[in-house]
Amino acid sequence: MTMIEAIRDAIDTMMARDQRVVVFGEDVGYFGGVFRCTDGLQEKYGASRVFDTPINESGIIGVAVGMASYGLRPIAEIQFADYVYPGYDQIVSEAARLRHRSAGDFTAPMVVRMPCGGGIFGGQTHSQSPEALFTHVAGLKTVMPSNPYDAKGLLIAAIEDPDPVIFFEPKRLYNGPFDGYHDRPLTAWKQHPKGAVPEDYYSIELGKAELVSEGDDVTIIAYGTLVHVALAALEGTNISADVIDLRTLVPLDLAAIEASVQKTGRCVIAHEATYTNGYGAELAALVQETCFYHLEAPIERVTGWDTPYPHAQEWDYFPGPARLEKAICRVLEGTALAEGAAAQANGGANQ
């Protein structure tokens, strides 16, 4: 399955199992969403469970809070993460705090899904990765899958979760495992092991990372698209690295990070979002707190720049494999590995 199909399948699976699940958003009903993640669901479950909404993100999220407090399980789609801001108040001041402020009298078990990230020449309004604006908020869970298998399992877990979950879908991964080499031919999910998605119900516990590559030299912590970029950066080098796909940012699998960094003593953190106060800053602080005495080199962060996401300069902005490889070399500085890898990195054309 593609990631789009996996997401649709997760929603479909849950709508069939649980009458309380409803899904809505701009162009979500008849048309099935601009990325087609809800295609066919209105026909299958009817317009009172799958419907188009007015273009009003604060309304979309506000009604989701109301429905969730009633006892439904709303899944709200925001067409692009870049358009969530009008709904931010409803998420931060309402959904996130409802349980706490009412001492459990009311809760908001709901999922807000949104495509995020760049790589499609979407310019500043179809490319953002605002996850840190949500990980900063108490009461929210934040998820970002990197492949179809995880997307389905995590989305099902999110729908079943008793608390509000912000579910980011890296849109550049919708149709294939994009590794940052934008000038190479696309690969399809059906050629990737994680594109094999069972049609049955399964869920992946929120808060559990996955070690997607195992090694001793360095730990790379990533999520979403950057998981694939990290693997691509290691390709052809003799560096053996732990690559951790966080999958869930809050709750965070700190144990997995700790175990890895204490083993390797070196850590590179990668995300597409801007650098300053990005989620990488939190990760770096936690690594410092938990692994300080094991660290052999300063922690490196490879991220988008602190600028709006540009249109023409998309690939100068995107933290591709070459940038990641350079950072890996910096944390390996002084080791024999670094020399070989540096030569390799200088040969790479991709910034």
Ligand X SMILES: Cc1ncc(C[n+]2csc(CCOP(=O)(O)OP(=O)(O)O)c2C)c(N)n1
Residue 300 interacts with ligand X (CB under 6 A)? no
Taking the C-alpha atoms of residue 60 and residue 92, their distance in angstroms, rounded to an integer, is: 14
- Of 100, 126, 228, 271, which residue is the catalytic one? 126
Report what 107 binds from another protein, ligand X, none; CB cut-off 5-8 Å by kind: another protein
**Longest CA–CA separation in the chain, Å:** 63
Of the two residues 291 and 327, which places its CB atom closer to another protein in the complex?
Answer: 327
Angle ∠(229,302,180) on CA atoms, nearest 5: 25
Instruction: Report, in Å, the least distance between residue 172 CB and ligand X.
Output: 18
Count residues near ligand X (CB under 6 A).
Answer: 5
Instruction: Report, in Å, the least distance between residue 180 CB and ligand X.
Output: 26
Report what 307 binds from another protein, ligand X, none; CB cut-off 5-8 Å by kind: another protein
Q: For 94, which DSSP code?
A: I
Instruction: Report, in Å, the least distance between residue 275 CB and another protein.
Output: 7
Of the two residues 159 and 243, which places its CB atom closer to another protein in the complex?
Answer: 159
State the amino acid at position 313 in one-letter form: Q
Residue 255 interacts with ligand X (CB under 6 A)? no
94 Rama class: left (phi>0) / alpha (psi -120 to 50) / beta: alpha
Report what 308 binds from another protein, ligand X, none; CB cut-off 5-8 Å by kind: another protein
Report what 56 binds from ligand X, another protein, none; CB cut-off 5-8 Å by kind: another protein
Of the two residues 55 and 188, which places its CB atom closer to ligand X in the complex?
Answer: 55
Q: Using the CB atoms, write b or e for 112-127: b if 16+ within 10 Å.
A: bbbbbbbbeebeeebb
Instruction: Report, in Å, the least distance between residue 24 CB and ligand X.
Output: 13
Residue 83 interacts with ligand X (CB under 6 A)? yes
Which tokens hold the place of 154?
């995590």
Q: What does the binding site for another protein look like in residue numbers (CB under 8 A)?
A: 17-20, 26-27, 29-31, 34, 47-49, 51-59, 68-72, 82-83, 85-86, 104-105, 107, 109, 120-126, 160, 162, 275-276, 305-308, 310-313, 316-317, 351
Order across the sheet with 210-213: list the strands: 210-213, 241-245, 218-222, 267-274, 300-304
Contact 207, 159 (CB under 8 A): no
State the amino acid at position 107 in one-letter form: T
Instruction: Report, in Å, the least distance between residue 125 CB and another protein.
Output: 3
Instruction: Report, in Å, the least distance between residue 30 CB and another protein.
Output: 6
Instruction: Lay out the site mask for ligand X across 26-55 (x = CB under 6 A, - = otherwise).
Output: x----------------------------x
Taking the C-alpha atoms of residue 115 and residue 113, their distance in angstroms, rounded to an integer, is: 7
Of the two residues 160 and 216, which places its CB atom closer to another protein in the complex?
Answer: 160
Per the listing, tokens 């049955």 go with 200
Rg, C-alpha atoms of the chain: 20
Q: List the one residue from 13, 38, 53, 79 that touches ligand X (CB under 6 A).
A: 79
Compute CA 25 distance to the chain's CA centroid, rounded to the nearest angstrom. 20
Instruction: Kindly report the backbone phi and psi dihedral angles of residue 276, in degrees, each rounded to the nearest multiple of 5, phi listed first.
Output: -65, 125
Instruction: Kindly report the backbone phi and psi dihedral angles of residue 317, in degrees, each rounded to the nearest multiple of 5, phi listed first.
Output: -80, -45
Is residue 126 part of the annotated active site? The answer reads: yes
Active site residues: 126
Residues that bind ligand X (CB under 6 A): 26, 55, 57, 79, 83
